Amino acid sequence: MPYRIYGSAKKTIICVSGAKQTMAAWRSFITHFISDYSVAVFDLPGQGRSSILSGPHGVTFDEQIEVLDKIVNKTNNNMPVHLAAASWGTIISAAYAARHPDSVDKMILGSFGAKPNQNVLDLIKEGQKLFNNNQRSKVAPLMIKMFGQYIPDFYKNNIIEQFRTMSWEQCMSFYEHCEFVKKSQDIEDYIDLKNIKAPTLIVSGEYDEILDQKDVAVASSRIPDCELKTVLGAGHFLHWEREDILHTYSEFLAR
């Protein structure tokens, strides 16, 4: 499991990627924060440069939390860390903060999905149909059409190329992840949100097609110290679409 640390400051931010996102997704984030923080990035098993050495292609929910715990222990400089997460990474981060409340100082959850909405379920159904019919090359364009339409062309091309070059094992890992999402009706079946001690900032894009904002608001109300912010004019990929949101993150972490 590869990981990298940028910067040498005492305080550490650990970036937790969304499904199939790699360390490269945090490039602009690292540039913004490196002068004040050490920034750690990593690839979860089944994506990027990581490898699953044994066992099934799927990585369970508990295993993903265990991976994050190992990264925290490797990079925390013997003090609580900040977590900054995107999309699926917000679920893993919230679960970690609930299970290890004293290990997290502050937490930023960008595009936090409280439960799968119908758009997500429709996307998974159509994507799995393409995969099963040996049309893998059409999966990335479908995803971009459904919830990545606001990102710059550079990132769209990167996503298309990533899916074009994914190994069979990585494809199966993503397939298994989608199966888990289909079965997950409510985040609180897996995470006791009231156990989160860390001050938390949840950020959602105004035009995010795969989040139900009412569900996000309900979930955020159950985190004891939580602020919910809507970014106008943004979709699901927040700091790709609106890089100025990083200043909001800085202000939150500096409190």
Q: How many CA atoms are closer than 13 Å to the CA of 143, on its beta-carbon side?
A: 25
- 61 in Cβ contact with 98 (< 8 Å): no
pTM comes to 0.93
What does the pLDDT look like over 144-177, one tens digit per residue?
Answer: 999 999 999 999 999 999 888 888 888 888 888 8
What does the pLDDT look like over 194-231, one tens digit per residue?
Answer: 999 999 999 999 999 999 999 999 999 999 999 999 99
- 215 in Cβ contact with 114 (< 8 Å): yes
pLDDT at 6: 97
Beta strand spans in 155-216 (E) = 200-205
Name all domains of the chain by residue range, CATH numbers in brackets: 3-115+190-254 (3.40.50.1820)
Tell me the average pLDDT of the chain: 93
What does the pLDDT look like over 70-119, one tens digit per residue?
Answer: 999 999 999 999 999 999 999 999 999 999 999 999 999 999 988 889 99
